[in-house]
Chain A
Amino acid sequence: MKWESWSQFWAMGGYAVYVWGSVGVTALLLALEVWQARWAHRVVLDQLKSEQAVAQLPVEELM
């Protein structure tokens, strides 16, 4: 381990804004993309489920 304290780690030798700005935005975008992909999958599954439910209704209920 090369750091002596947490504050030294977060300070990044004076480059904190640049280093954490890079790492932070990268982490944020990766997380957002994963969340977006899961959300899109859920939407498609829900749509298919509701179509199935309608298709299985007896004809009288659709009248």
Chain B
Amino acid sequence: MKKTSWFHYAAPHTFYGLAGKAWPWFAVLATVLMLVGMWLGFAVAPTDFQQGEGYRIIFVHVPASWMSMVIYLAMAFWSVLGLTFNTRLSGMMTRALAPTGAMFAFLSLWTGALWGKPMWGAWWVWDARLTSELILFFLYLGYIALTSAIDDTRRSDRAGALIAIVGAINVPIIYFSVKWWNTLHQGASVSLTKAPSMAELMLWAMLLMALAFWCYTIALVLYRVRTLILQRESHATWVHELDEVKP
């Protein structure tokens, strides 16, 4: 029996083809889930008894915030793999994830400000949840700035991996901030240990949107990593043999 190692799929050449086949499926899935999620959230879900229609911001705010944290953890995961096994793909995956993570962190802050104004009366407060999320946004920007400032790919990947791993400490801080400190931000709407504090329909709409953002991220990262592979392997024979680069 032929044994295929995981490292086989981690070879940029193999992964380029694999990612090329996979991203369109995730893109279609993301679109469908987003349409259903938005329809449920904006056409079917009832009005909130406390916050009126204003609560509907939740359908973008919570999924965007989750993704901003998940993507950072994914970057830390790839960085650990990269530093231990020295695989080329790890650095490219980390780099492909960063812009999308930065965007979701920004969206979390933006939609949070637009939610905070009508409900708390302030766009921004220096609350533990908000401040740690702002730090996460800066970590993303720091990662992007640092990696693009170092020309040597290997050194740049290693420096980036360090920020990704050290900065990951911030993610549990964001997550538990509403428990550890007395914050203005409300507690978790959904948790693994207790029943969700939301109406079922609202919860479904939010989970569908979260799943949609997951698929969007996977599709986009697979797409972006292909661009990075082509850039970094531009002198490899297999790249020159691709149909899409035939003149």
Contact = CB atoms under 8 A, between A and B. Distances in A.
Given A2-B46, A26-B107, A41 B223 contact: yes
A49 B57 contact: no
Nearest to B64: A26
Contact of A52 (B44, B64, B223, B245): B245
Contact of B247 (A9, A17, A41, A52): A52
Best-buried of A40, A41, A47 by chain B (most CB within 10 Å)? A41
A18 B226 contact: no
Interface in A8-59: 9, 12-15, 17-19, 21-23, 25-26, 29-30, 33-34, 37-38, 40-41, 44-45, 47-53, 56
A50 B234 CA distance: 12
B240 A15 contact: no
B159 interface: no
Nearest to B107: A26
Given A13-B47, A53-B247, A22 B111 contact: yes
Contact of A13 (B44, B53, B117, B244): B53
Interface residues of B, number: 40
Given A37-B224, A48-B234, A26 B60 contact: yes
A18 B227 contact: no
Nearest to A22: B111
A40 B227 contact: yes
Contact of B227 (A1, A44, A52, A56): A44
B61 A22 contact: yes
A48 B237 CA distance: 12
A46 B230 CA distance: 11
B245 A49 contact: yes
Interface stretch (B98-106, B137-145, B186-194): B98-106
B240 A52 contact: yes
A15 B111 contact: no
B54 interface: yes
Given A48-B230, A48-B234, A52-B247, A23 B60 contact: yes
A25 B115 CA distance: 14
Nearest to A12: B53
30 contacts: A1-B44, A2-B44, A3-B43, A12-B53, A12-B56, A13-B52, A13-B54, A15-B54, A15-B118, A18-B54, A18-B114, A18-B117, A19-B56, A19-B57, A21-B114, A22-B60, A23-B60, A29-B103, A33-B100, A34-B220, A37-B223, A37-B227, A38-B223, A41-B226, A41-B227, A44-B230, A47-B234, A48-B239, A52-B240, A52-B246
Interface of B: 42-47, 52-54, 56-57, 60-61, 64, 99-100, 103, 106-107, 110-111, 114-115, 117-118, 216, 220, 223-224, 226-227, 230-231, 234, 239-240, 244-247
Given A19-B114, A22-B110, A49-B246, 5 more contacts: A15-B52, A22-B60, A33-B103, A34-B220, A51-B234
